[in-house]
Amino acid sequence: MAMLGQAVLAISKNRMVTRIVKQSSLFRGMVNRFVAGEDLESAIVATQNLADQHLTATLDQLGEDVRSIEEATAAVSSYTTTLERLASAGLEPNISVKLTMLGLDLSETVTVQNLETILATARQVSGFVRIDMEGSAHTAATLRIFERLHDQYPEHVGIVIQSYLKRSLADITRIIDRGARVRLVKGAYAEPESVAYQNMSEVRRQFLVMMRMLLDAGHYPAIATHDPELIEATLAHAGAKGYGADKFEFQMLYGVRRDEQLRIAAAGHRMRVYVPFGTEWYPYFTRRIAERPANALFVLRNLRR
């Protein structure tokens, strides 16, 4: 991750900065670009608008690091409601979940039970649940839980792999062997050099290696990037191998490169948009800002005022 992005992430953890951003109307406009709204109905409207433009969606209720079993139980109820609400609206029931929101920092056993409840609902409505990958401290447990439940719900659960983690090549090989669905991303958390590549050219190189592995041997992978170089490389590899549009999909974030999302869909490729919603938007917002230098500069300038 670039030094500017790391600076934004570091500053964003300051309590005073957090308060300023959450209360500022100046930042609210930027938040509204990246977050569909603070409630489920706003996310449903956004998903329908995307569907009208021939784009699919995965909904993510923002929140992580719950502090009690009760909070984790409430998250389960919210996730199952989201799946049911999407189905009743005639939209694809597709969601993304963070295991720390299901209690991973409290109890792995409880987390498994909570995720199983969500997956049972996904099976009932013919839906799909993607387990988001969080910071490297949670990677091993997240993969362990995913593999355990993928055995029970192979068509209803997938995982995210981050190309900047040094362990990911081995992880993705194992996941391909089990026929599971992978979303490939670069990675958005500040990680030490001991576990993650720091040079963006190396992160891209790893992404390309894994993208080709997934297209050649994976089960309907999601290539999640806004990077023009990686998008073109994916299209080139798919074209050279004769892979059709049903072989894989692209994924992008809500509010990011919207014209490119439409261009890719118009060219006959599948495009899914990651649609976050909810009141706990601050951590997600700061990671999106840190990923783009222009946005990071805007934030840093305004924090100094």
Active site residue 183: yes
Question: What 3-state DSSP class applies to 125?
Answer: coil
- Distance in angstroms (rounded) separating the CA atoms of residues 19 and 193: 31
Catalytic residue among 130, 181, 183, 287: 183
- What the block records as the tokens of 159 is 């995982």
Residue whose token pair is 């990671």: 287
CB 277 within 8 A of CB 251: no
Residue whose token pair is 């994924």: 251
* Neighbour tally for 109: CB within 10 Å: 9
- Distance in angstroms (rounded) separating the CA atoms of residues 236 and 186: 19
- Distance in angstroms (rounded) separating the CA atoms of residues 269 and 249: 7
Active site residue 227: no
Question: What 3-state DSSP class applies to 22?
Answer: helix
- Distance in angstroms (rounded) separating the CA atoms of residues 230 and 64: 29
Catalytic residue among 130, 132, 171, 272: 132
DSSP string for residues in 166-210: TTHHHHHHHHHHTT-EEEEE---S---TTTB---HHHHHHHHHHH
Handedness of CA 81, 85, 88, 94 (dihedral sign): negative
Q: What are the CA-CA distances from residue 279 to residues 13, 84, 215 (Å)?
A: 17, 21, 36
Q: What are the residue numbers of the active site? A: 132, 183
